[in-house]
């Protein structure tokens, strides 16, 4: 297993369970694979699509990282669900964030996930995702001082007591087990995304931009393309060893996409 860079929150305590990991992927084979698939299918395929697909399959094979915390106990999830964070133009020149939740991506093709991501991103950017827009309207009606309590109450009912709130118009498990964010789209080589308590997502993966880097091959320095992947994880739900094994599997799948 290659060396990973681990860290933990500077102020780690019972209220701040975050741990951190960063690893680097050599992307030349992955980018060539995407280009070939794009020509064969006529679809636009990007590193985001490939990472979402690889992440879904890696989670299937690492069930100890596809979990949730319920009343302080770790439980494995019944399905693989990855939420993808999408930047959405807001009002007054501001930007907002939206989500595309990819379910059972481990049993689907790369092209199927890519099509869903592209459609979801288009809908989010023009406000056509009815579920998300409905949720925003409901949240806007909650007085600001009560937003924290409302988020806690919904989480306690949905995740703590495992109750379905769909009759109230609230989707079940809307954030999935892992959140994927592409900070590279903001021009960043690397960034650590935070855990967001009300989502109950214990693992967040952030993709950096694909960049030129020097690599040593057969004793010679050559130009290559690299991408950093960072992981923020809840240490109450999973260990550093479990996240490290997941990260290593994701690196292997990306660097050898035909393997």
Domains and CATH numbers, the chain: 5-255 (3.30.559.10)
**Res 111: pLDDT:** 96
**Res 48: pLDDT:** 96
| Percent of the residues in the chain that have a pLDDT greater than 90, as a whole number | 58
Q: Lowest-pLDDT range, 137-146, 162-171, 247-256? A: 137-146
Q: Lowest-pLDDT range, 98-107, 149-158, 167-176, 230-239? A: 149-158
Rounded CA-CA distance 247/149 in Å is 35
pLDDT band at 99 (very low <50, low <70, confident <90, very high): confident
pLDDT band at 103 (very low <50, low <70, confident <90, very high): very high
Rounded CA-CA distance 15/226 in Å is 35
pLDDT band at 63 (very low <50, low <70, confident <90, very high): very high
Q: What average pLDDT is seen over the chain?
A: 85
Query: In Å, what is the CA distance from 71 to each residue of 32, 68, 207?
Result: 45, 10, 31
Query: In Å, what is the CA distance from 36 to each residue of 26, 55, 59, 211, 248?
Result: 18, 21, 25, 20, 25
CA angle 58, 198, 70 (to 5 degrees): 65
Nearest to 140 by CA among 200, 90, 181: 90
Task: State the residue for tokens 């579920």.
Answer: 131
What are the phi and psi torsion angles at 88 (to 5°)? -125, 125
Rounded CA-CA distance 104/86 in Å is 19
Bigger pLDDT: 259 vs 78: 78
pLDDT band at 138 (very low <50, low <70, confident <90, very high): low
Q: Lowest-pLDDT range, 6-10, 26-30, 99-103, 137-141? A: 6-10
How many helices (DSSP H) and strands (DSSP E) are in the chain? 6, 10
Does the pLDDT at position 11 exceed 70? no
Average pLDDT of span 228-252: 97
Within a 13 Å sphere around the CA of 65, how many CA atoms are in the beta-carbon half? 28
Question: For 29-63, b where at least 16 C-beta lie within 10 A, e where not — what string?
Answer: bbbebbeebbeeeeeebbbbbbbbbbbbbbbeebe
**Res 86: pLDDT:** 79
Does the pLDDT at position 38 exceed 50? yes
Does the pLDDT at position 255 exceed 90? yes
**Alpha helices (runs of H) in the chain, residue ranges in sequence order:** 28-41, 47-61, 110-125, 130-141, 147-155, 240-255
Bigger pLDDT: 243 vs 121: 243
Rounded CA-CA distance 45/113 in Å is 10
pLDDT band at 123 (very low <50, low <70, confident <90, very high): confident
Does the pLDDT at position 145 exceed 90? no
Q: Mean pLDDT: which of 47-61, 88-102, 186-200 is highest?
A: 47-61
Q: Return all residues near 13 (Cβ < 8 A) that are at least 6 apart.
A: none
Give the bridge partners for 205, in sequence order.
180, 231
């Amino acid at each position: 297993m290659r060396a990973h860079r681990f860290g933990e929150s500077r102020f780690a305590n019972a209220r701040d369970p975050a741990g951190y990991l960063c690893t680097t992927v050599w992307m030349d084979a992955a980018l060539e694979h995407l280009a070939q698939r794009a020509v064969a299918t006529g679809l636009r395929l990007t590193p985001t699509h490939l990472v979402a697909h690889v992440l879904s399959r890696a989670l299937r094979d690492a069930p100890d990282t596809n979990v949730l915390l319920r009343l302080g106990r770790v439980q494995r999830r019944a399905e693989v669900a990855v939420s993808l964070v999408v930047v959405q133009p807001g009002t007054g020149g501001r930007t907002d964030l939206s989500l595309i939740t990819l379910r059972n991506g481990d049993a689907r093709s790369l092209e199927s996930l890519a099509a869903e991501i592209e459609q979801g991103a288009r809908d989010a950017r023009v406000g056509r995702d009815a579920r998300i827009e409905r949720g925003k309207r409901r949240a806007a009606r909650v007085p600001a001082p009560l937003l924290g309590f409302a988020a806690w109450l919904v989480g306690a009912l949905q995740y703590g007591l495992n109750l379905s709130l769909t009759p109230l118009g609230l989707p079940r498990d809307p954030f999935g087990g892992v959140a994927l964010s592409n900070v590279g789209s903001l021009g960043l080589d690397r960034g650590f995304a935070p855990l967001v308590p009300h989502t109950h997502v214990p693992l967040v993966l952030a993709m950096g931009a694909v960049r030129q880097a020097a690599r040593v091959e057969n004793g010679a320095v050559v130009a290559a393309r690299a991408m950093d992947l960072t992981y923020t994880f809840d240490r109450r739900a999973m260990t550093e060893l479990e996240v490290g094994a997941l990260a290593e599997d994701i690196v292997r799948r990306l660097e050898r996409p035909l393997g």
